């Protein structure tokens, strides 16, 4: 195993308190790290921190970059401390809701301020800051293509880069040179924003480390089609001669459903193998530069993946293909060492996948909301979690524990109470916390919503839906010393 036994809390950065309408990398995040430290919690799990788009429902899993940071998470107070914003620039602060993110209002407020900060830096930035930005450009090879991609995207009216004129779509060198010249200022702005995000993120990570907290990042296996990743690296994906997908990802039909067509381009794993998986190594290197642990979303896709012809709407038209398997992770170990991965293996019981996880010591996930509480030995009941697992009370994609429990049939609720030996009037969320923390799982994880005993109205994301996701926030006074003390006691009894 690559982990010491410990506990963790999931809370995406956007969900943290801030007076600027969205959780950011400033004081609210630092206070959350202090809460985790006071609670004796060793891990802070987040969603991907890349830019989000209104056109993709603000999903952090449909970002225009697998490498860049989300500009909306930049701490404006930090820019004021840098003297690139004045306190009066921040006024008036809109009357943002404190329990959810209004992404449109946040963009309207924050993006002009980021441009103001850039203009002042561009005009009066110190030699030291300019040198640091130049070093960031040199250190991050993805940055130039990302900044160019976003600059071109903002200037054009097409819905996606796959509809750009052919010279831009296929990256004709003369067309790219002309675009760099035409959009030079916008490119510098995008680079400044990413440098600022990177500096602030590293400062926050230092705060977390001082509290004894490791950050658990997230790696969606697929990237969005309308992304700098696909546009700048067409040879990594299965694209046709026009640089448009020839096959897209999804899952096949199963009993009771029609399957899913996700639409993300699939990888050309054979060509990647010939290149020693260079794009994936760069992606993992960047991730571990920003986080301590990585959750690999849809881990089955590294073993076998469902590829659907791009011109087919029916998921049943797809076929299974072999993934890179152990060859990829042997390459990762050669390049990056003993990388600490968590494998998202929910919904699939595949012997080859389980063998790969076992060989490399990647713990899988167990979520009690998938349990049949009346079935003896159910693998999702916490008392049956193996050491090689990460136990969750809920995840970013499930209902809260209270919401789930309220919807359970009465017999299932009775079986749950019997199985866990429920203690009188103890809140049901603390019953499951106790069970997950006392299991054999190497990591015990919960969510802020479950710590607070919140219901379905506080769910973070409901897969398959578009509206009302990714916007939940915790209020400033919700996580108090009493909750921290209770978590500390759990850790003392079970995982410390």
Which residue in 73, 284, 65, 270 sits closest to 161, CA to CA?
65
> Are the CB atoms for 46 and 484 separated by under 8 Å?
no
Instruction: Give the active site residue among 30, 344, 431, 435.
Output: 344
Tally of residues, the chain: 496
Active site residue 482: no
C-alpha distances out from residue 364 to 34, 89, 215, 252, 278, Å = 28, 47, 18, 22, 26
Q: Are 66 and 229 in contact (CB under 8 A)?
A: yes
Could you tell me the two tokens for 141? Answer: 């090879």
Q: Which of 297, 429, 435, 450 is catalytic?
A: 297
Contact 437, 495 (CB under 8 A): yes
Given the residues 19, 397, 440, 476, the one annotated as active site: 397
Q: Where does 245-291 have alpha helices with state H?
A: 269-274, 278-290
Give the ranges where 291-370 is alpha helix by DSSP (H): 326-336, 351-360
User: What is d(CA 452, CA 483) in angstroms, rounded to the nearest whole number?
Assistant: 8
| Bridge partner list, 265 | 248
| Cross-strand bridge partners of residue 218 | 295
Residue 384 CB coordination number (10 Å): 15
CA–CA distance, 316 with 306 (Å, rounded to integer)? 10
Q: Which residues contact 399 (CB under 8 A, 6 or more apart)?
A: 369, 407, 456, 459
Query: Does the annotation mark 344 as catalytic?
Result: yes
CA 351 to chain CA centroid, Å, is 27
Q: What DSSP element (H or E) covers 489? A: helix 481-490
Check if 203 is active-site: no
Q: How far apart are CA 164 and CA 156, in angstroms?
A: 8
Active site residues: 297, 344, 397
């Amino acid at each position: 195993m690559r982990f010491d036994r410990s506990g963790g809390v999931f809370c995406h950065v956007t969900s943290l308190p801030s007076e600027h309408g969205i959780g950011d990398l400033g004081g609210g995040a630092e206070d959350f790290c202090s809460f985790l430290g006071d609670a004796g919690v060793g891990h802070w799990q987040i969603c991907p921190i890349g830019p989000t788009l209104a056109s993709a429902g603000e999903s952090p899993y449909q970002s225009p970059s697998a490498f860049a940071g989300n500009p909306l998470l930049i701490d404006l107070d930090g820019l004021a401390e840098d003297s690139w914003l004045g306190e009066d620039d921040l006024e008036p602060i809109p009357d943002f809701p404190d329990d959810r993110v209004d992404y449109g209002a946040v963009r309207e407020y924050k993006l002009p301020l980021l441009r103001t900060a850039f203009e002042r830096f561009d005009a009066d930035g110190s030699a030291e800051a300019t040198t640091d930005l130049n070093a960031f450009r040199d250190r991050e090879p993805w940055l130039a293509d990302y900044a160019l991609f976003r600059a071109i995207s903002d200037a054009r009216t097409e819905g996606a880069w796959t509809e750009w004129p052919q010279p831009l779509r296929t990256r004709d060198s003369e067309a790219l040179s002309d675009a760099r010249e035409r959009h030079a200022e916008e490119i510098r702005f995008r680079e400044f924003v990413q440098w600022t995000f990177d500096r602030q993120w590293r400062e926050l990570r230092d705060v977390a480390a001082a509290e004894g907290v490791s950050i658990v990042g997230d790696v969606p296996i697929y990237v969005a089609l309308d992304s700098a990743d696909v546009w700048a690296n067409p040879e990594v994906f299965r694209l046709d001669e026009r640089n448009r997908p020839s096959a897209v990802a999804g899952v096949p039909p199963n009993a009771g459903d029609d399957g899913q067509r996700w639409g993300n381009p699939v990888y050309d794993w054979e060509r990647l193998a010939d290149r020693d998986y260079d794009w994936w190594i760069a992606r993992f290197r960047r991730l571990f530069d920003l986080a301590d642990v990585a959750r690999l979303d849809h881990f089955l896709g590294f073993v076998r993946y469902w590829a659907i012809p791009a011109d087919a709407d029916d998921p049943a038209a797809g076929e299974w293909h072999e993934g890179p398997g152990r060859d990829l992770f042997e390459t990762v170990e050669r390049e990056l060492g003993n990388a600490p991965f968590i494998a998202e293996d929910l919904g699939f019981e595949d012997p080859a996948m389980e063998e790969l996880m076992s060989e490399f010591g990647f713990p899988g996930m167990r979520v009690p909301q998938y349990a049949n509480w009346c079935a003896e030995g159910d693998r999702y009941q916490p008392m049956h979690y193996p050491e090689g697992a990460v136990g969750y009370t809920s995840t970013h994609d499930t209902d809260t524990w209270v919401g789930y429990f309220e919807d359970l049939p009465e017999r299932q609720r009775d079986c749950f109470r019997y199985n866990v030996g429920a203690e009188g009037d103890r809140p049901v969320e603390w019953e499951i916390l106790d069970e997950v923390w006392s299991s054999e799982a190497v990591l015990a994880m919960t969510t802020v919503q479950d710590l607070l005993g919140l219901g379905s109205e506080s769910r973070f994301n409901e897969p398959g839906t578009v509206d009302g996701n990714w916007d939940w926030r915790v209020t400033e006074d919700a996580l108090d010393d009493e909750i921290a003390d209770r978590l500390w006691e759990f850790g003392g009894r079970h995982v410390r």
